[in-house]
Structure 1
Amino acid sequence: MLGETTDDGTDEPDPALTAAGKLADTIRTTLGPSGLDKMVVGENGTVIVTNDGSKIIEWIDITHPVGRLVEQAATAQDSAVGDGTTTTVVLVGALLEEAAALRSDGLHPTTIIDGYVRAAETALDHLEQYERSVYSRHDDRLAQIAKTAVTGRWDDTSTERFGELALSALQAVEFDTSRLTLKSYPGGELRESVCLDGVVVDLETSSTSLEALSHPSIQTHDEPTIGMVDAEIGIEEPNHMESVELQDTTQRSAFQAHEQDRRTELIAQVVQSGATVLFCQKSIDEAVRTALVQRGVLPVERTRRDEFDVIARATGSTPVMAVDELTADTTGTVASVTERTVGTSQTLTLQGCPEEQRATLLLRGGTPHVADEVRRIAADCIDVTRVTLDDGAFVPGGGAVPTALAMDLAALSSGIPDRTQLVFEGFGTALEAIPRTLATNAGTDPLNTLTGIKQRHDAGAEAIGVGSDGHPRDMIAAGVLEPSTVFTSALQRAVAVVTQILRVDDIVRTTEDGRSTTNEHDHTHAARGGYPWAVGH
């Protein structure tokens, strides 16, 4: 599939290489601290500005099957470790480009595939000698790893802030991310972001009366009792069509009195349970809600299911299916519940959860788009920090490791007696695409920079990579550190998708009536979220 020969003897660009290459070219300029942003414009006029490879790929509608394979690899990389998406795609593009050159030199695809697999295994074996260990959760280098994930996406001050927030949030929950919640709100600056002890409930997602929350007696509760009802609170609705015929005003008054008595019973049951804050997963009758407020009980209705379950675990409260089942034994407690306005959103903060230590990273951004971007970057920081601690190892960034591995493969290839030697050399050249891209994005000559790095590596300085200015620099001294798992995962996924592509000799398309065609050159591409970043050829 790699390369076709036309009637005049010239080589025609391979469609697979073109599709993968265009995807790599689209996002390679975002790699590194000097990478540029992409402005993605949706068909409905929505505009996002980002340099995150996974976000850009998410917005591209890729119709070429090879492009979809690359997209799947990038998405899997982001889901698994939270970083390295751009690295994965750049490696795929470089490996396919080298494979095309090897194919034109007469190597069979199976020879290239076997060579790539062996070269990848060799590279990963050699990777261990460049790894450094993380000794504890209080290792200062964890903050540097978090900041490396942000470098180039924000200014230096904000990068420091992201690193601090990520590390403090993880330490607050003892690095258990299942107990950490991220929320972002527009209308503020990043420096206003804080890590709060406890759970933050967004009241914008419920229909709780904001007027009720302004009641002075319920703006703050110290050591409140938490009651939880996993059903509607109000007058029971019939489960089938019924009609009631009232003969006179006496019957009408009796009917209304019955409803009022039922509401009174509900209110009395809540008060008797001792609950001072009542969370309901569904709706609360308006009259009941108003009466509860007057009795000093804060009612919160239509609580999101995920938040409802978190509150139950954290407070020790047992949700009941009816108010009649609400008792002192089913309630829980927290140190305090405070109503606060974040931007234009009303929230409740439950602090001091006794049963499950919780933390919420409350993030701020000037606009909704910026707030979303802040949340995504904070999530990346948290992911790479947690992955580093779980794996216990990190490597110098800035393309130092790919360069070192490329040099190792070049040295080993001289001892390979068959044509696999060429594959090892090509694999090493593909690895060098990472430092070359970093140097290019920084505005320096990639050849000169790569040559300088290799000279320093030959002298024993294996931590030398591409600095933020595009020139060789010691990455450990610069604090540019990356989780070893991120590069390992990116390399494995890139090799997996490339070998899968190399095994394909044709694309067979089927029609609705079951007939098959082999029209490999009909590649139309449209952006589902953002032109002009449609990938095609």
Structure 2
Amino acid sequence: MSGGVKPAGGEGDEAYATLRNNAGAIRAITSAVEGTLGPKGLDTMLVGPRGEVIITNDGVTILEQMDVTHPAARLLIQVARSQQEQIGDGTTTATVLAGAIVAEGTAQVTRGVPVAKVVRGVQEGVAAGLRMLAKRARPLEGLEDPQLYSIAYVAGRENEDLARLVIEGAKKLGLPKMRDPQFRFSDTIVSHSRARNEVWPGLLIQKRPANAQPDFPPDSARVLLFQDAFEPESVHDEALMTDSGFQKQMQLREQFRSLLPKLVELQVGFIASDRGVDPEAEQFCTDHGIMVLQRISRADLRRIADYTGARPLRRTGLGKPAEELAGYLGYAGHVSYDERLESVRMGEGKGRAQVTIVVGASTSEVIGERLRIAKDAASSVQAALRGGCLPGGGSAEAAVAHELERYRETVQGMEGFGIAAVAEALRRPLAQIVVNAGYNPLEKVEEVKAAQIATGNDALAIDCDTGAVTDMAAIGVMDPADVKLHALQAAGEVAAAILRIHTVIKMRQPRTEE
């Protein structure tokens, strides 16, 4: 393929020093996560400066927690971060693909292929690869499709209990909600070391009530939300130094106090504020059986509003007439405080459907990893419902690699070397899965290639238990198409950016004003 291509006259190792340095850093980052790929992938132990330990198989967790200073390596970590933010799973695959494209592209450049040609070829190869992957995607037949469980099981690292939880939660939400582009299914998952696995048909808000001392029996409640402090308006600190300012503050407090009985009139049973709660207001609510949460996140406030139909308002809104204020109230048929989980349960909301998937574990050390696994499974299920699925185990990528090689033969010009680099990189996931399972990657990758060509079956890969060529779709090893598509796209973008770097210059420090 690259025979006859030689470095340009007069160019030595110095011409490729930056590229080699960057490629080395990328290789170091890739090696930190590639051992976790596939069903036989192992865990990584992360040790913090104070001796804290995280044991995980999750690629983005490993990369986010690593102490990385090399600028090119940080670019690669951005691939994992982008994959996590956009899809929620597949970060290791994206990292391995990016590392492989950089390695193959670097090899082409150091043989004398112009960088611009390689980069152009990589971009063309990635675009063609995306088209080839997309045309192989298989749509799912809704929430009852048996492949959906297989996807949750594979992404959930073969934890049957987590896969069942995720599928149950998805069914309770329904297909329209799962396909809503603004909804992140993984956000519905919470964990607690004292919890039992369950799918709660509503919200579980991990907060203690501000007035936690009384018992709040499970009850229905009208819901009032403040996107502000639940306390009197205040005057400026400077104004408080004057008699008029002090009198104004007392008037505001008295006015606030006079509005509190309106809560009883409106039969409010639950109040949440994203800031603090006035002690007098807290005591009033306690006396009248109104549960109060303070300093909850804006995300939780939005979730409560969405679920109960409440409309958040400012504290000044408490002065509205009762009949007008009633229009801001939401409703939940069940509100209670779970002492064991230190969380508020809300159910039977009159707004949009919600579920909370509760993941339990025996120890606090394990619970973090189970939460990450469950979130990966949830993200994969949602991605599959949106964009279909592909056979897993590296089979789809290997099939596209062979198709890209045939496409490369039709390309005139040196861009073909970049296309070849992408084709070779696409075999890397299969090769790494095979290595992690204890087999020879050269032998097994060629075995898969020959079998796919002979049978015309793109779903063939290696069974990691037996080492035999097996139909991945037949044994239920399926991956979301969107995971693979985004991984290849993100990997191609960062690889092209790294290959184009010719010089690294340290920026000057900004001048400080005397």
Asked if the contact 1:186/1:366 (under 8 Å) is kept, the reply is no
Distance 2:252 2:114 in 1: 83
2:109 alignment partner AA: R
Distance 1:242 1:489 in 2: 59
Asked if the contact 1:404/1:457 (under 8 Å) is kept, the reply is yes
Structure 2 residue corresponding to 1:174, chosen from 149, 174, 177: 177
Partner of 1:430: 425
Structure 1 segment 344-493 matched on structure 2, within 5 A:
345=342, 347-391=343-387, 393-416=388-411, 418-460=413-455, 461-469=457-465, 470-493=467-490
Structure 2 residue corresponding to 1:199, chosen from 195, 198, 203: 203
Partner of 1:333: 331
Structure 2: give runs of 5+ residues left out of the alignment: 1-6, 244-250
1:364 alignment partner AA: G
Distance 2:367 2:76 in 1: 29
Q: 1:162 to 1:399 in 2, by over 3 A?
A: farther
Q: 1:352 to 1:69 in 2, by over 3 A?
A: same
Cα deviation, 1:265-295, whole Å, max 9, x if unaligned, reads 4553322222233444444444553444333
Distance 2:474 2:73 in 1: 38
Cα deviation, 1:310-362, whole Å, max 9, x if unaligned, reads 3334333444625444725243322121222244x2x2222111132222222
Distance 1:237 1:500 in 2: 53
Distance 1:496 1:260 in 2: 58
Indicate the SS of the match to 1:224: strand
Distance 2:137 2:116 in 1: 32
Q: 1:65 to 1:455 in 2, by over 3 A?
A: same
Cα deviation, 1:45-68, whole Å, max 9, x if unaligned, reads 221111111111111232222212
Deviant stretches of 4+, over 6 Å: 9-13, 258-264
Partner of 1:295: 288
Please report how far the alpha carbon of residue 439 of structure 1 lies from its aligned counterpart in structure 2 after TM superposition: 0.2
Distance 1:384 1:451 in 2: 29
Distance 2:112 2:173 in 1: 53
Cα deviation, 1:423-461, whole Å, max 9, x if unaligned, reads 444432222111110000011111222122122202222
2:198 alignment partner AA: V
Asked if the contact 1:173/1:359 (under 8 Å) is kept, the reply is no
Asked if the contact 1:202/1:348 (under 8 Å) is kept, the reply is yes
Structure 2 residue corresponding to 1:305, chosen from 294, 298, 302: 298
Distance 2:331 2:160 in 1: 39
Indicate the SS of the match to 2:240: coil
Partner of 1:271: 264
Q: 1:102 to 1:186 in 2, by over 3 A?
A: same
Query: Could you state the TM-score of these two structures normalised by the residue count of structure 1?
Result: 0.80
Indicate the SS of the match to 1:276: strand
Structure 1 segment 36-115 matched on structure 2, within 5 A:
36-115=42-121
Asked if the contact 2:233/2:252 (under 8 Å) is kept, the reply is no
Asked if the contact 1:336/1:352 (under 8 Å) is kept, the reply is yes
Please report how far the alpha carbon of residue 172 of structure 1 lies from its aligned counterpart in structure 2 after TM superposition: 8.2
Distance 1:225 1:487 in 2: 45
Q: 1:231 to 1:99 in 2, by over 3 A?
A: closer
Structure 1 segment 115-154 matched on structure 2, within 5 A:
115-151=121-157
Q: 1:103 to 1:280 in 2, by over 3 A?
A: closer
Cα deviation, 1:390-433, whole Å, max 9, x if unaligned, reads 22x31101010121122223334445565555544443222211
Indicate the SS of the match to 2:346: strand
Partner of 1:321: 315
Partner of 1:533: none
2:380 alignment partner AA: V
Pairs aligned (count) = 485
Distance 1:271 1:50 in 2: 50
Partner of 2:491: 494
Matched residues, percent identical? 23
2:378 alignment partner AA: I
Please tell me the root mean square deviation across aligned C-alpha atoms, in Å: 3.4
Q: 1:232 to 1:473 in 2, by over 3 A?
A: same
Asked if the contact 1:166/1:378 (under 8 Å) is kept, the reply is no
Q: 1:161 to 1:101 in 2, by over 3 A?
A: same
Which structure has the larger Rg?
1
